[in-house]
Structure 1
Amino acid sequence: MPISGFPEWLPSQRMIEQFTLDKIRSTFELYGFAPLETRAVEPLETLLSKGETSKEVYLLRRLQDTADAPAKGEDQLGLHFDLTVPFARFVVENHGKLQFPFRRYQIQKVWRGERPQEGRYREFLQADIDVVNRDTLPFHFDTEMPLVIGDVFRSLPIPPVVIQVNNRKVCEGFYRGLGLADTGEVLRTVDKLDKIGPEKVAALLVETAGATDAQAAACLKLAEISASDGSFVDRVRALGVDAPLLDEGLSELLQVVETAGEHAPGLVRAELKIARGLDYYTGTVYETQMRGYEQHGSICSGGRYETLASVGNTRFPGVGISIGVSRMLGLLFKQDALSVSRSVPTCVVVALPSDDQRAECDRIAAALRKRGIPTEVAPTAAKFGKQIQFADRRGIPYVWFPGSPSTVKDIRSGEQVEADASTWMPPAADVHPLVTGV
């Protein structure tokens, strides 16, 4: 029986997922990101030190291990809830073997024990890119992240996306300029705007962050600012708050918006309510929404971090962004917004005239496969009409009839022509299943 929050796709959906992953992987590699895979488990202490709550981390233990505590000398282990924390740990452990700046992509499952809902799972696939450097990381890497992600999404048959960007320095500088000391609490509270609304956020700011009503109102004014060009800078200035960190953040955010606007107009929007919940972000933050699916929140997010990884006095600052592959596809599958031209990879079914001709049919199939044509032999020597039905039910476009000469039939049009298995090629569009948006 199904387990809530642990999706299992049908073969046709899995083919769409693999198509999506191929597009993601190839785009990441076009930008020079190298592949990496890290272990699924991390010490619990590592996971909980990076901003995730203990109730969302899945613990790992052996069935025979009845003790609550791990054995002496062993760490308590949990499944990773994102790919950034294990990546930072990997960098620390392997920094002597890596060339910096280090650009990597990682496509793996992660686990998060939150309440399952539409597009939100407990086991899901993420596709991450990060750039880390030793000691300092030039800011231009922050401007590159949206460009990579924009190219990924344009390569997929999905609705247009908008990458919402902010910079925590803008928020923290503004809060400090207002006289609010606990900027972390203010950030976490403002990050709840979409969930609980401005009135409750204002009340929480007074209650938990020590804000006055006027300070809370100013925080909400900042969060209302949204622009797809540099006009947000003047709107922030008009609020009358001054702080060096605010100036630095506005300058950085402007670079991200202007660079993206030149590369892909309309891709990026400055959205000053975006904060991101995880504690390790220190500068630029990103969240991405699909048009028509905004009510489901972000499908791609990330940001800048300065202190996530360090060895002694050496820091490894980084910036990264993560595509929630399962989240995105789950939402699209729910609306039947993606389709694939057939439910199997097969392009050609070799008809089987009789069981004693199976070896000959296998040779034909092998000749077609040798040239990259996905082929299978019919499972039984039934009437040709049934063998054609076998192909048609699966969306397979061609049936090959052995003989002297052999013929191949396009069962969609009914056209049948003589063919040689060593030379015949279907149209390029038929070789592999086609994924399209609806």
Structure 2
Amino acid sequence: MAKPTPLSGFPEWLPDGRIVEQHVLDTLRHTFELHGFAGIETRAVEPLDQLLRKGETSKEVYVLSRLQEEGLDKLDQQRADKQLGLHFDLTVPFARYVLENAGRIAFPFRRYQIQKVWRGERPQDGRFREFVQADIDIVGAGELPYHFEVEAPLVMAEALGALREIGLPPVRILVNNRRVAEGFYRGVGLEDVEGVLRQIDKLDKIGPEKVSELLVTECGATDDQAKACLALASISGSDVGVIDEVRALAESYGAVTELLETGLAELGALIAAAAVRAPGVVVADLKIARGLDYYTGSVYETVLVGHEQLGSVCSGGRYDTLASDGKNTYPGVGLSIGVSRLVSRLLSADLVQASRSVPSAVLVAVSSEEERATSDTVAAALRARDIPVEVAPSAARFGKQIKYADRRGIPFVWFPGSAGEDGVVGADQVKDIRSGDQVDADAASWAPPAEDRWPRVVPRG
């Protein structure tokens, strides 16, 4: 077989990288479950019309098709198969899941979901065509109290904070409230709220001068209105003083509205709670827009401090109309972590490492092929006590078997006892090949140090 050509955008970690990824996933899952979120998994495909409901038409959806289907001509086959696509996020499948199971789940429904998703976009640093997402959502039936919009980002802050011990950089969760932005824009006389948000969302990419021009040319704003929008977008802070700053700006432009005040009250509640539970982590940033035709209340974006160029590694917000069957509406709030993006940065920036690349803590040596059953018995006894073990692949000289363990990163080699000239079987021995220490051992009681039993993920250096 010819050497395969690499396919970009589909990450395949080496074993030590996979250990890092699994640790991240286990940590997230544990935190989510601590907060009462139940895990679910949905199918990989959804009808195309459902996939496009979220409004993110710029996303390239992978279409599902079959090369052959008996009983269909080619045109009919294409029409039938192209009605399905691979999901590009986990929110649209979750909305469908809620509608299909509304009569069997208790509301408010708290779920987490960790699965692969697919997007046909240009691969680049931190962006993949196939990647793992980890989502949490809280969905209500008919209504969802605002305090869940406070809780959701704080759960994510805790989950990401739990990864600091392995070397994850500090995170900043940037929050805004769509009611604040809409109330302010309407207060200064701008009706094209989505258009204004679309331009403000470009601030970090093209700068305030070009955004100001676009507000005038694309949204019909006056120079003074554009100046007001940019002034609002420039406000940020991690304490409730930011609320007073926004209100003062609105008063100076005569832009205080009921919608603005509602949004400020909600944003203030979130910032106040975050200051207690996650001080310095949650920051109000009035330029955050997200999901222009999708989110209706709080919106969130998360960046790694010192790695801001990577973009948001976690985002989400409040939505009111994604899940509705025409009679009942299920509003919700949720956030999604781009796990593959997070792991890729941890690995590429050499921020973390696995203590070894294989699960095995012990290699049981084989004295001879005739005595392999003895080694298998030792391995079984150790595994029964939750110690990961493998048996040497061949009965080579012990020196070669030790070198094999060293190449694999296995810290201990076990030597089964053998009969001496007097026929007496000697004690088993285990050797720490890092230090050279070798001691008598019994498979029924010996255990490696806790830090060596399983691979660990630790900060590099």
The TM-score normalised by the length of structure 2 is 0.92
SS at match of 1:39: coil
Please tell me whether residue 15 in structure 1 is matched to residue 37 in structure 2.
no
Instruction: Pick one of 207, 223, 230 that aligns with 2:240.
Output: 230
Shift of 1:394: 2.0
Instruction: Pick one of 261, 269, 276 that aligns with 2:290.
Output: 276
Shift of 1:409: 0.9
Query: Which residue of structure 2 aligns with residue 138 of structure 1?
Result: 145
SS at match of 2:196: helix
Shift of 1:277: 3.3
Please tell me whether residue 30 in structure 1 is matched to residue 44 in structure 2.
no
Instruction: Pick one of 338, 343, 365 that aligns with 2:352.
Output: 338
Unaligned runs of 5+ in 2: 418-425
Query: Which residue of structure 2 aligns with residue 116 of structure 1?
Result: 123
Instruction: Pick one of 425, 430, 435 that aligns with 1:413.
Output: 435
Alignment of 1:17-416 (within 5 A): 17-53=21-57, 56-64=60-68, 67=74, 76-156=83-163, 157=166, 158-239=168-249, 240=251, 241-277=255-291, 279-403=293-417, 404-416=426-438
Query: Which residue of structure 1 aligns with residue 423 of structure 2?
Result: none
**1:63 and 1:216 mapped to 2: Cα distance?**
53
**2:277 and 2:411 mapped to 1: Cα distance?**
40
**1:4 and 1:203 mapped to 2: Cα distance?**
37
Query: Which residue of structure 2 aligns with residue 433 of structure 1?
Result: 455
- Check whether the contact 1:348–1:376 (CA below 8 A) recurs between aligned residues: yes
Deviations 1:388-416, CA, capped at 9 Å, x for gaps: 11111222111101002001111111111
**1:233 and 1:53 mapped to 2: Cα distance?**
34
- Rg comparison, structure with higher value: 2
Opposite residue 372 of structure 1, the aligned amino acid is D
Shift of 1:333: 1.2
- Check whether the contact 1:52–1:278 (CA below 8 A) recurs between aligned residues: no
Opposite residue 215 of structure 1, the aligned amino acid is Q
Shift of 1:73: 7.2
SS at match of 2:376: helix
Q: Which runs of 4+ in 1 moved over 2 A?
A: 64-75
**1:36 and 1:68 mapped to 2: Cα distance?**
36
Shift of 1:220: 0.9
Shift of 1:349: 0.4
**1:23 and 1:415 mapped to 2: Cα distance?**
34
Opposite residue 164 of structure 1, the aligned amino acid is L
Shift of 1:155: 1.7
**1:221 and 1:350 mapped to 2: Cα distance?**
68
- Check whether the contact 1:110–1:124 (CA below 8 A) recurs between aligned residues: yes
**1:221 and 1:54 mapped to 2: Cα distance?**
29
Opposite residue 375 of structure 1, the aligned amino acid is V
Structure 2 CA distance for partners of 1:67 and 1:211, relative to 1, 3 Å: farther
- Check whether the contact 1:347–1:398 (CA below 8 A) recurs between aligned residues: yes
**2:129 and 2:325 mapped to 1: Cα distance?**
32
Shift of 1:278: 5.2
Shift of 1:85: 1.0
Shift of 1:233: 1.0
Same amino acid, percent of matched pairs: 63
Shift of 1:68: 6.0
Opposite residue 149 of structure 2, the aligned amino acid is D
SS at match of 1:238: helix
Query: Which residue of structure 2 aligns with residue 6 of structure 1?
Result: 10
- Check whether the contact 2:63–2:82 (CA below 8 A) recurs between aligned residues: no
Deviations 1:115-141, CA, capped at 9 Å, x for gaps: 211011111100000000101101111
Shifted more, 109-118 versus 299-308: the winner is 109-118
Shifted more, 201-210 versus 414-423: the winner is 201-210
- Check whether the contact 2:65–2:78 (CA below 8 A) recurs between aligned residues: no
Structure 2 CA distance for partners of 1:207 and 1:63, relative to 1, 3 Å: farther
Shift of 1:54: 5.2
Shift of 1:146: 2.0
**1:330 and 1:226 mapped to 2: Cα distance?**
29
**1:77 and 1:68 mapped to 2: Cα distance?**
15
The TM-score normalised by the length of structure 1 is 0.97
Shift of 1:64: 2.8
Deviations 1:136-175, CA, capped at 9 Å, x for gaps: 1011111111221122112212111111111111111111
Structure 2 CA distance for partners of 1:23 and 1:68, relative to 1, 3 Å: farther
- Check whether the contact 2:113–2:135 (CA below 8 A) recurs between aligned residues: yes
Shift of 1:424: 0.8
Query: Which residue of structure 1 aligns with residue 420 of structure 2?
Result: none
Structure 2 CA distance for partners of 1:267 and 1:55, relative to 1, 3 Å: closer
Number of residue pairs matched by the alignment: 438
Shift of 1:427: 1.3
Shift of 1:72: 6.9
Structure 2 CA distance for partners of 1:105 and 1:68, relative to 1, 3 Å: farther
Unaligned runs of 5+ in 1: none
Opposite residue 50 of structure 1, the aligned amino acid is K
**1:41 and 1:250 mapped to 2: Cα distance?**
39
